[in-house]
C-alpha cells in the first residue's frame, strides 16, 4: 500500500506513478500487431493510444462499434499516421468471439500481442446467451475461447518473424476475494448464493489461472510466446457503474489515473526486459505474488478443462 500511494519505483525501475507513455518511452513497435479487447474506453483506450503512438498496428475489439470508431478517430486526430482498426466483439457471446476470430484471421495480418483487457464488474445476476453467469462468461470464458482461436495465428507469426508473442490477461487484486473454493465449478450458475463481488473475484482469479496454465502449455510446446497476468490498479472507469459505494470511496482516495492504470499492461506487452518471462503476475509494473489459489497448478488445470467443456457444450447446443 505504501508503494502504491508513494509511487516509489520497484526493481523494474517503474512504480505506481509510472504512466503507459513512460514505460514505453523509446520503444518502436512498428513491427508489432496487437489486439486489445475493450480498447475503446478506459485503460483499454489508453493502451491502444500509447501502443499506436509507438507505431504498433492496433486492432480494437469492442462490443460498441460506435464508441470504437470514435476512439479510432480520437487517436488519428492526434497522430494521423497511427494504424488502428476496429472489429466487433462481444465477449459474453461465444458466437461473437468465433465471428471476431474468423474476421481477424481473414484479414491475413500477423498477430504478436493479445491483450485480454475488456471486462465487466459487480453486475447483478444474469446469464449470458450461452447460459453462463455473466461475469465469468465475459471476463474469463470469452477471453479463454478467443485466445484459443487466435493461438495458431500467434504461433505462426512468432515462428515466421522470430519475434516473441505476448499474451496479457488483465486480472485484479480482487482475485484474492473469490468464493470460498475459488471457482464454483459445480455451481457456476447458482443464483441462490450469487454474490456480485465474489463472482467478480472468481473471474479475476480465473484470469490468472488461465495465464499460468497457458504459459505451461506454451513452454511444453517450446513456443516463442509468453502469457502473463496483470493488476492495473484501482482506476475510476465506467466499470464502477454498478457500485456507487466504491465510486464514492475511490473518489476520496488517491488511486491511479487512467494513464497510470494502463502502464502495467503496456510494460508487460512490449518492454524488452520481459523477454522470455512467462506465467507471472504483475502489479505497478513489477512482478508480484498473487494469492495462494492463483498459484495452484491443480486448480489451474481443472479450470482449463472446465472451460473447454463449457465452450464445447455451447457449440453443441
Measuring CA to CA, which residue among 197, 176, 208 is closest to residue 281?
208
Count: domains in the chain: 1
Residue 59 · residue 104 · CB < 8 Å: yes
3-class secondary structure for the chain? CHHHHHCCCCCCCCCCCCCHHHHCCCCCCCCCEEEEECCCCHHHHHHHHHHHHCCCEEEEEECCHHHHHHHHHHHHHHCCCCEEEEEECCCCCHHHHHHHHHHHHHCCCCCCEEEECCCCCCCCCCECCCCCEHHHHHHHHHHHHHHHHHHHHHHHHHHHHCCCEEEEEECCHHHHCCECCECCHHHCCCCCCCCHHHHHHHHHHHHHHHHHHHHHHHHHHCCCEEEEEEECCCECCHHHHHCHHHHHHHHHCCCECHHHHCHHHHHHHHCHHHCCCCCCEEECCEEECCCCHHHCHHHHHHHHHHHHHHHHHHHHC
CATH number (domain holding residue 225): 3.40.50.720
Q: What's residue 253's pLDDT?
A: 45
Buried/exposed 259-296: b ≥16 CB within 10 Å, e otherwise: bbbbbbbbbbbbbeebeebbbbbbbbbbebebbebbeb
User: Which three cell numbers mark 50?
Assistant: 500509447
pLDDT per residue as tens, the chain (317 positions): 445 554 578 999 999 999 999 999 999 999 999 999 999 999 999 999 999 999 999 999 999 999 999 999 999 998 999 999 999 999 999 999 999 999 999 999 999 999 999 999 999 999 999 999 999 999 999 999 999 999 999 999 999 999 999 999 999 999 999 999 999 999 999 999 999 999 999 999 999 999 999 999 999 999 999 999 999 987 654 444 444 445 444 444 446 899 999 999 999 999 999 999 999 999 999 999 999 999 999 999 999 999 999 999 998 87
Rounded Cα distance between 53 and 312, Å, is: 39
Rounded Cα distance between 104 and 98, Å, is: 10
Rounded Cα distance between 33 and 55, Å, is: 9
Model confidence, pTM = 0.93
List phi, psi (to 5°) of 162: 75, 5
Distance of CA 13 to the CA centre of its chain: 23
What's the CA dihedral at 119, 120, 126, 129 to 10 degrees? -30
194 catalytically annotated: yes
Residue 178 · residue 205 · CB < 8 Å: yes
User: Which three cell numbers mark 78?
Assistant: 492526434
Which residues are CB-neighbours of 186 under 8 A, at least 6 positions away? none
Catalytic residue among 194, 200, 267, 281: 194
CA atoms within 13 A on the CB side of 50: 28
Q: Which residues span the domain enclosing 156?
A: 2-316
List phi, psi (to 5°) of 180: -55, -45
Measuring CA to CA, which residue among 7, 136, 118 is closest to residue 63?
118
Amino acid at each position: 500500500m505504501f508503494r502504491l500511494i508513494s509511487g516509489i519505483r520497484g526493481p523494474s525501475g517503474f512504480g505506481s506513478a509510472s504512466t503507459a507513455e513512460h514505460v514505453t518511452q523509446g520503444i518502436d513497435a512498428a513491427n508489432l500487431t496487437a489486439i486489445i479487447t475493450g480498447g475503446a474506453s478506459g485503460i483499454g483506450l489508453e493502451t491502444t493510444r500509447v501502443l499506436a503512438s509507438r507505431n504498433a498496428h492496433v486492432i480494437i475489439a469492442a462490443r460498441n462499434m460506435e464508441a470504437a470508431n470514435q476512439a479510432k478517430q480520437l487517436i488519428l486526430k492526434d497522430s494521423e499516421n497511427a494504424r488502428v482498426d476496429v472489429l466487433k466483439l462481444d465477449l459474453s457471446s461465444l458466437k461473437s468471439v468465433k465471428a471476431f476470430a474468423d474476421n481477424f484471421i481473414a484479414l491475413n495480418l500477423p498477430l504478436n500481442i493479445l491483450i485480454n483487457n475488456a471486462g465487466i464488474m459487480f453486475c447483478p445476476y444474469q446469464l449470458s446467451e450461452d447460459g453462463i453467469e455473466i461475469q465469468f462468461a465475459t471476463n474469463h470464458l470469452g477471453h479463454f475461447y478467443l485466445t484459443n482461436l487466435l493461438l495458431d495465428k500467434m504461433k505462426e507469426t512468432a515462428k515466421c518473424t522470430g519475434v516473441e508473442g505476448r499474451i496479457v490477461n488483465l486480472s485484479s487484486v480482487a482475485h484474492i476475494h473469490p468464493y470460498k473454493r475459488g471457482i464454483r465449478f459445480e455451481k457456476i450458475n447458482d443464483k441462490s448464493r450469487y454474490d456480485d463481488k465474489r463472482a467478480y473475484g472468481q473471474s479475476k482469479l480465473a484470469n490468472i489461472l488461465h495465464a499460468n496454465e497457458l504459459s505451461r502449455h506454451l513452454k511444453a510446446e517450446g513456443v516463442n510466446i509468453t502469457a502473463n497476468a496483470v493488476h492495473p490498479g484501482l482506476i475510476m472507469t465506467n466499470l464502477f457503474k454498478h457500485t456507487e459505494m466504491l465510486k464514492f470511496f475511490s473518489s476520496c482516495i488517491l488511486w491511479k489515473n487512467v494513464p497510470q492504470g494502463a502502464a502495467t499492461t503496456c510494460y508487460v506487452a512490449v518492454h524488452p526486459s520481459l523477454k522470455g518471462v512467462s506465467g507471472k503476475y504483475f502489479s505497478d509494473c513489477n512482478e508480484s505474488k498473487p494469492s495462494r489459489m492463483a498459484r495452484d497448478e491443480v486448480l489451474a488445470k481443472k479450470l482449463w478443462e472446465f472451460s473447454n467443456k463449457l465452450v464445447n457444450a455451447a457449440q453443441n447446443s
